[in-house]
Amino acid sequence: MAMSGRLLAGVALAAVTAMPAAAQRQAGDDAWSAGRYEEARRAYDRVLAEDPQDARANLRLGILLSWDGRLDSSLVLLTRARSAEPDDADIGLAKARVLGWHSRFEEAVALYDSLLAGQPALREAAIGRARTLSWGGRLDEAERGYADILARDSTAAEARLGLAQVSAWRGALADAERQYRRVLAADALNVDALVGLGYVYQWQGRNSPAARLAREALAADSANPGARTLDLVVRRATRSTVETGGNWSNDSDRNTNFWQTVNGSGRVSDAVRVFGSAAALEAADPIRDATRIGGEAGLTVTMGNVQLTGAGGARRLTPDTAASRTAGTYRARGSWRPVPRLGLNAGYARYPFDETALLIERDLDLESLEGGADVRLADGLSVYGSAGGTWLSDGNYRSNASAGVVRTFRRRFSIGASGRTLGYDRRGVGYFSPDRFRLLEGVVGYSLEGERWDGHVSAGLGAQQIGQDGVAQSEWHVEARVGRRWGAGNRIEGFGGVTNSALSSTSGAFRYRTAGVALKLGL
């Protein structure tokens, strides 16, 4: 019986393979309609073997390849399909959609525009165009596109969802929540709305209702990628974590530091999270060694658009050439975002000035008070600034101010400029303390985030002036990091950087290097 079954299967396969292209196409269409996509793939492959220009086979194989993430290969087939049937709207929509997934936003928008020029009422093209604009960071244009669709049909759920997503990406979370609730009022099981509203709650720090919405979305569609990702994000945010790492730094004054850290945090409620840390530093220069061991504990309280953090601890400082001492550490910080485009913050800290072996033996403490603001002028364009003062226990005082602007393109590329100035009342012993220091720098950056891996690289070039009578000198920096995630909240990261900025080293050295690794585990 087994031999007969294999013989019959072989005969059937041979018969299917020998079918003419028209029959293969029909077999592929039937399998596609029934959701048997692997069977459809095989049939369409055989169609293309006989007729490489067959529009339907190219279209559907291109769609299948896009589902597998093979976007370049998908576009080859979809381009071939569109060449064969240039007026077919389904082919145009499929190609524009894949161009958007491939981050080729300008090409995708141009193709959607072409489709809408021929068929102004083609809603799929209007929705796709607005969605692609939002992916490309052109949120104002995306918002207008969705609003135009809703003006013609207020029941268009996809446009309402898109409008809510644009509001959420802008930080207008209250408006996004209203839009998602309007969709859910009409369809309580709309998975996209459940997921979107869940993210709004999660970004607001309301993890309990976010977790409930993730469960509801998974109950409605257990395979939905968005629901599964939201569930993972919420579990990462609510799990207790432990982080450990090791860092190394060295400057051209031959100050070398190596420190190890262990941090832990846990969620008490949606509003309260507690944390603690311990750290050990081994510092050395050409003539002395010193160690620092310390720890702190604190909590963060979130109340709507206000967040408060406070922590206290102690450090044990042990230089080779002076008596050991124990010093307390205290810090507090508050932030307030009255509207999505504006954030305000202020902070206070008191701790030992102990960043090098020489400073550990100098028996210095400092207190600092600082405030700042950030403003999002337009989508992808932000400015920020801060100012503060620092009082040292040797009677010295430092004032400082900084400001910058950052423009982000396509969520990956960024370009910006920043400036900083500081000055001390007098020259201190053992630390970089010019009467004036100025730095102006242009910066470019690139970020990439995948399902498991993420990374960022940035570089800056500018000028610095040390002292009121100093001459301008070139300044630069390069830094990079790469990380890998797994499970719910686990991550390992390596990082490194090098700069010639005098400000980077406590001693004012003209070359500063740093490297390290960090591991975060969810409990």
pLDDT at res. 369: 98
Token digits for 233? Answer: 């994000």
Phi and psi at residue 136, to the nearest 5°: -80, 5
pLDDT less than 50: residues of the chain: 1-18
For residues 280 and 244, the answer to whether their CB atoms sit within 8 Å is no
Helix (H) or strand (E) holding 47: helix 37-50
Report CA-CA distances (Å) from 318 to 58, 323, 349, 356, 361: 72, 7, 22, 12, 8
Nearest to 223 by CA among 191, 188, 199, 194: 191
For residues 209 and 237, the answer to whether their CB atoms sit within 8 Å is no
Angle at which helix 191-203 crosses helix 207-220, to 10 degrees, equals 160
State how far the Cα of 353 lies from the Cα of 365, in Å rounded to an integer.
Answer: 5
State how far the Cα of 213 lies from the Cα of 230, in Å rounded to an integer.
Answer: 9
State how far the Cα of 191 lies from the Cα of 515, in Å rounded to an integer.
Answer: 43
**pTM greater than 0.85 (yes/no):** no
pLDDT at res. 195: 94
Nearest to 504 by CA among 152, 236, 255: 255
- Give the bridge partners for 246, in sequence order: 260, 517
Burial of 314 (0-12, 13-18, 19+ CB in 10 A): middle
Indicate the pairing of strand 413-424 with strand 256-267: unpaired
- What's the distance, Cα to Cα, between the start and end of the chain in Å? 55
pLDDT at res. 214: 93
